[in-house]
Chains A and B, each alone.
Chain A
Amino acid sequence: MVTPDGRASRRALLTGAGTALAGGTLALAGCGSAEIGKQAVKKTSARVQAKDIAVLNQALALERRTVAAYIAGMPLLTFSQRKAARQFLNEELEHTGELISLIKAAGGKAPPRADSYALGHPIDGPGVLAVLHSLESLQISRYLEWIPQLSPGPVRAAVASILTVDAQHLSMVRVLEGQVPVPGPFVTGSV
């Protein structure tokens, strides 16, 4: 079960090879949330769609800012930190793709990326990690504010599946910073 690559090992678990996973009864999740969300948002009224588009556009802007921070900060990280950051960057890019899909399904058009983002001026790895920490925290706190405003339940759930990954990123950034990775029972984005 345990392979030299922990990632492969977890994938194996999720695809049914795990010792703790009984076959046949559990469905793999991790895909399709945006599809379900897209179907749901298409069925809502124009007024609801417009409200959702406004929220999703804000979320997209924040995700793009975080993507920019990962790209800009990576050269200052150590090899092992960079390896993790590359993985998280790919996942943040996936988030932008999911949000754009939802915006389009609601009849909207994703706004263009900003020309530049104010990310501070970190000069070393710890400085970069501090920026990533604050951006992941900001995303979490904003998602917690925005998700209840989204109208179709499946869209809320689809966006929550992004929030959960940002919470995982935050824990791992905290690990890289030498901090307690899961400081409390409720993820608020405040620390």
Chain B
Amino acid sequence: MSKVVRVNPIACEAHGLCAELLPERITLDEWGHPIVDPTPVTGQVEKHARRAAAACPTLALLLAEAGRRSPVMD
């Protein structure tokens, strides 16, 4: 089951650690909020992603299952 990185934008406070720890998938916008590349993470990159998720001060960075889209939208 491949994983992708997601940000909970409500919890995120733009500390920016994720971009330091996971440059493979995360860049920051001009206000310091993460822009996430939705390419699945594997191997070494997945390791970096887990480390970044654990380091996020507001626990806003998540590893989610790839392809899980809600069948129901508002």
Is this pair of chains taken from one and the same complex?
no
A binding-site residues for B, Cβ under 8 Å: none
Listed in ascending order, the chain B residues whose CB lies under 8 Å from chain A are: none
